[in-house]
Amino acid sequence: MEVFKFGGASVCDASGVRNVGKVLKYSTGKDILIVVSAMGKTTNAMEKVVEEYLNGSSYLTTLAEIEFQHQQIITELFGSSSSTLQQLKEKFNLARVFLDTNRSSNYDFVYDQVVSVGEFVSSLILSRYLDQVGISNQLLDAREYIKASSEYREAGVDWALTQERISQIEPRGIYVTQGFIGSESNNFTVTLGREGSDYSASIFAYCLNAMAVTVWKDVPGVLNADPRHFSETQLMPLLSYSDAIEMAYFGASVIHPKTIQPLQQKKIPFFVKSFLEPQKAGTKVQEEEVLSPVETFILKENQHLLSLSSLDFSFVTEEHLSYIIARIVFYKIKISLIQNTAISLQLCVGDKYHNLALLVEELKTKFEVEVTSDVQLFTVRNYKASTLDKYYSGRNVLLEQMSKRTLQLVCKK
């Protein structure tokens, strides 16, 4: 069995859904589990619903607009009398009932119950469309298979229980399921982290001992730089698992950071291909190291540089480091780079959950803390020592770190 993952861009409208059918017919595989994300920018829109709901605003209007957009896609695919319209209405009504009866003010809990509607709707529409064009399939509820902790918005997978559940799937035929989501011990929905559908595909592949995983994107494969930020890019036809993991960790948006390691454990090949040109080879991620690796440029934005030193000018000891790291973990701050001297510590961090101000306030009780916000982390993998100057050109560098293969610069815009 193979695992295919289609992201939001690939199913953003009726034309995109039709194209998935074409990709499947082009594929030589007959046994495929399809993991699908929410359509287009639906996740962003559903996040707005959560914000409005918790702020006491009129969230029902936004929810109705999202439902209407999906109604239009269904009507274009199946006609105005399709039974799928009623199924769509039922999905959105479940969200309305939850929001009407919910008494929890926990943002993360509410987020997971509401935002996940996007995946349920997209998988429903895709499954029904495949049936219509003669691709018989079974729609699965990912929550019945991916079991996880109750850390809402960032749930950890219970691998033993997940393996037990997914092993019950008969490895024959076509299946459609949702990315990004699972369920905890009380069967409430949890999500696996933003853009986590790639990770979902990896989980299913690992537990099914899949032959391969293919992620279908709107790019020809993994490029050595993001074309939104760099004018000259090139396709990398081969990557090792370790290189792919490093690129994802440093911020390459085409691969979710958690995706590769489960596949590496079982040496399952991972492909990134274009859903617009499915006949092309794209990028293959494999076990073997790649000779003559290509320079890779990764820009991670919306970062913050923290500079800490002790109040009494003493050394920053292991005890200090332990305390700082523990508070960073508590506030769900993500460290992108860390550098220390005897008397100072500098960290480049991301603040996805907007807890940085709370962390800084707490750290100031024990340390001198300086914060530089809105910085970029510029990473060059496989840099060329002979042309180092070009990496610094035009950049206001606040902090640098260099290893044998990786150069990282924290820069102020």
CA 154, CA 103: separation in Å to the nearest integer? 22
What per-residue confidence (pLDDT) applies to 354?
92
What per-residue confidence (pLDDT) applies to 249?
83
Average pLDDT over residues 108-136: 96
What per-residue confidence (pLDDT) applies to 246?
86
CA 81, CA 114: separation in Å to the nearest integer? 27
Is residue 295 within 8 Å of residue 384, measured between CB atoms? Answer: yes
What per-residue confidence (pLDDT) applies to 135?
93
Instruction: Please enumerate in sequence order all residues whose Cβ is within 8 A of that of 339, keeping only pairs 6 or more positions apart, or say none.
Output: 345, 346, 347, 399, 401
Q: How much is the mean pLDDT over the chain? A: 93
Output the CA–CA distances (angstroms, integers) from residue 207 to 113, 145, 265, 335, 342, in the order listed.
25, 10, 11, 30, 46
- The HSE-up count of residue 69 (CA atoms within 13 Å, CB side) is 19
What per-residue confidence (pLDDT) applies to 109?
97
Is residue 146 within 8 Å of residue 157, measured between CB atoms? Answer: yes
CA 346, CA 339: separation in Å to the nearest integer? 5
Average pLDDT over residues 322-341: 94
CA 95, CA 100: separation in Å to the nearest integer? 9
Which of these ranges, 93-97, 238-242, 327-331, 406-410, has the smallest mean pLDDT?
238-242
Specify the pTM: 0.88
Q: Given a cut of 70, is residue 291 above it in pLDDT?
A: no
Average pLDDT over residues 22-46: 91
Residues of each domain in the chain carrying CATH 3.30.2130.10: 296-412
What per-residue confidence (pLDDT) applies to 44?
95
* Structural class in CATH, domain 2-217: alpha beta
CA 262, CA 268: separation in Å to the nearest integer? 9
238-240 and 189-191 beta bridge pairing:
unpaired
CATH of the domain spanning 296-412, picked from 1.10.150.170, 3.30.2130.10, 3.20.20.70, 3.40.50.1980:
3.30.2130.10
What per-residue confidence (pLDDT) applies to 289?
76
Instruction: Please enumerate in sequence order all residues whose Cβ is within 8 A of that of 261, keeping only pairs 6 or more positions apart, or say none.
Output: 241, 245
Which of these ranges, 162-171, 281-290, 334-343, 364-373, has the smallest mean pLDDT?
281-290
Q: pLDDT per residue over 58-84, tens digit each?
A: 999 999 999 999 999 999 999 998 999
Percentage above 70 pLDDT, the chain:
99
Q: Given a cut of 80, is residue 309 above it in pLDDT?
A: yes
Average pLDDT over residues 156-181: 96
Residues of each domain in the chain carrying CATH 3.40.1160.10: 2-217
Instruction: Please enumerate in sequence order all residues whose Cβ is within 8 A of that of 357, keeping only pairs 6 or more positions apart, or say none.
Output: none
Q: Given a cut of 80, is residue 395 above it in pLDDT?
A: yes
